[in-house]
Amino acid sequence: MSPRILVVDDNRDLARGAALALADVSDDVTVVHSVEAALEALVQRVPDIVFSDIRMPGKDGLELLDQIVQRWPQVRTILFTAYGTIESAVAAMKRGAFDYLTKPFSDDELVLVAKHAWKEIQDEHEIARLRAELAHRQCFHGLCWRDRRMIGVIETIRRVAPTGATVLVSGESGTGKELVARAIHAESPRASAPFVAFNAAALPETLVESELFGCKKGAYTGADRDRRGLFAEANGGTIFIDEVASMPHAVQNKLLRAIQEREILPVGASTPIRVDVRIVAATNVEPQRLLASGALRKDLYYRLAVVRVAIPPLRDRIEDIPTLASVFLERLAGLAGGRALTLSSRALRLLLTHDWPGNVRELQNVIERASVMARGDEIGPGDIRFEDDDLDWQPEAEAGLTYEEAKRRVLERFQRRFVERLLAETGGNLSAAARRADITRAALHRIVKRLGIDVHDDPDVSAK
């Protein structure tokens, strides 16, 4: 699929040359030589992109722009301008033009701006589609999704929940492993009994055993009373053990016994205690890697992984980003003092292009932060701030480098983050990005080229 393009210029040679160059972008290019003819063409069939000269006999390009903005706001209009009318072109940008090209321009410049306009149109179509699907989003015990990759996860939860099978949930940090465990519990016959969550990596190794299985008074220094332990607290229900591989092997062995024998032995006790607890364990590292490294005992793994649930990272299910963002905004609106906020198209585009190392938890934090920063009823790209936006420079990271080399690396990190955000906010439009950054388009292009940032092979252009 290629864009429909309309070229409007009273200079027939220029219009014909532009149409030939734009054949690299589209197989549907129409040429007319007056504003009146352009309006007739627009009425008959609306194009995606319009290229128009500003100065023409009769009605000029600015009058055409006003008509397009009023009647066909979805159309991207790029204006041709002579050097002496650049101020008019800048004013036109404020009136709704997508971009402008200063005569004489190269074929490469023409093609580049057409590609940028078409990319923004495609992005907005995709965003509109995703937004339309929000009305059909699916939620299941706090897990909300649209992406088909989550269907298998939900189906596995539904199938395993009514059974008593132990479950091993794997997924990167922040993907929602505890939500999966809670969903399994909520759909099980144990739903009315306790659900107890425990992060094995949150405590020193010496305390993990007593926290899980309890202890007798005097069992160790500081044990001034008997403690029941989390297994006893969860009796009849479900215990969720996160980061199970971080437990010492001795504790893993006791967990294996609890699964096999349905009994636990508190620290310092001589008599085991019977328990009826369903176990859901989790790890943020691929289990096969844990087995290979010896961090997770094989016998325990086979007991835990009667059923495996692998949660895909958020970067692999980007269709869920609008859904989850909408859910978080609705929750925030429901809090005391909360506001009903929406995401602008450009803010949503910024979310869709982020790689989300912190997964759903990071998205939730970003949305909460943006809702605080937003001034009106809409969250814009300037309100979006990611966890890695701070440079977080650490001297040890540059150890062994000269001053100049260390400075170069820090500067490059700053430039990359600044320019990537700038391009995301302007839909990849170099001209708009340069104006926002208050530098020349050529200077921005040189930075982009040096950093290897993809802007559709922008040709080197001179400063305007």
Distance CA 41, CA 450 (A): 42
Alpha helices in 161-297 (DSSP H): 177-186, 205-213, 230-233, 249-261, 287-293
pLDDT for residue 58 is more than 70: yes
pLDDT band, residue 136 (cuts 50/70/90): low
- Of 75-84, 168-177, 239-248, 261-270, the range with the lowest mean pLDDT is 75-84
| 40 compared with 429, residue with greater pLDDT | 40
Average pLDDT over the chain reads: 86
CA within 13 Å, CB half, 263: 8
Q: Give the pLDDT score at 396.
A: 43
Q: What is the mean pLDDT of residues 271-278?
A: 94
Neighbours of 349 (CB within 10 A): 20
Per-range mean pLDDT, top range of 90-94, 117-121, 221-225, 400-404: 117-121
Q: How far apart, in whole angstroms, are the C-alpha atoms of residue 402 and residue 400?
A: 7
Q: How much is the average pLDDT of 417-442?
A: 79
Evaluate if residue 206 carries a pLDDT over 80.
no
* pLDDT confidence band for 328 (50 / 70 / 90): very high
Q: What is the DSSP string of 368-434?
A: HHHHHH-SSSEE-GGG---GGGS----GGGGTT--HHHHHHHHHHHHHHHHHHHHHHHTTT-HHHHH
Among 2.40.30.10, 3.10.330.20, 3.10.129.10, 3.40.50.2300, what is the CATH number of 4-133?
3.40.50.2300
Give the tens place of pLDDT for each residue, 351-389.
Answer: 988 889 899 999 999 999 999 988 889 998 888 888 765
Q: What is the dihedral of CA 88, 89, 91, 92, to 10 degrees?
A: 120
Task: Say if residue 18 is exposed, middle or buried (CB neighbours under 10 Å; 0-12, 13-18, 19+).
Answer: buried
Are the beta carbons of 39 and 75 closer than 8 angstroms?
no
pLDDT at 455: 63
pLDDT band at 134 (very low <50, low <70, confident <90, very high): low
Predicted local confidence at residue 389, as pLDDT: 56
Q: How many whole angstroms separate alpha carbon 45 and alpha carbon 42?
A: 5
pLDDT over threshold 50, residue 308 = yes
Instruction: Give the confidence band of 434 by pLDDT, cuts at 50, 70, 90.
Output: confident
Confidence of residue 86 (pLDDT cuts 50, 70, 90): low
Mean pLDDT in residue range 105-112: 91
Per-residue confidence (pLDDT) for residue 94, from 0 to 100: 82
What is the tens place of the pLDDT at every residue in 154-201?
A: 999 999 999 999 999 999 999 999 999 999 999 999 999 999 999 999
User: CATH code for 148-311?
Assistant: 3.40.50.300
Q: Residue 97 is which amino acid?
A: A
Q: Quote the strand ranges of 275-324, DSSP E.
A: 278-283, 307-310
- CATH code of the domain occupying 315-389: 1.10.8.60
Q: What is the pTM of this model?
A: 0.63
Per-residue pLDDT, 88: 74
Percent of the residues in the chain that have a pLDDT greater than 90, as a whole number: 53
Check whether 51 has a pLDDT greater than 90: yes
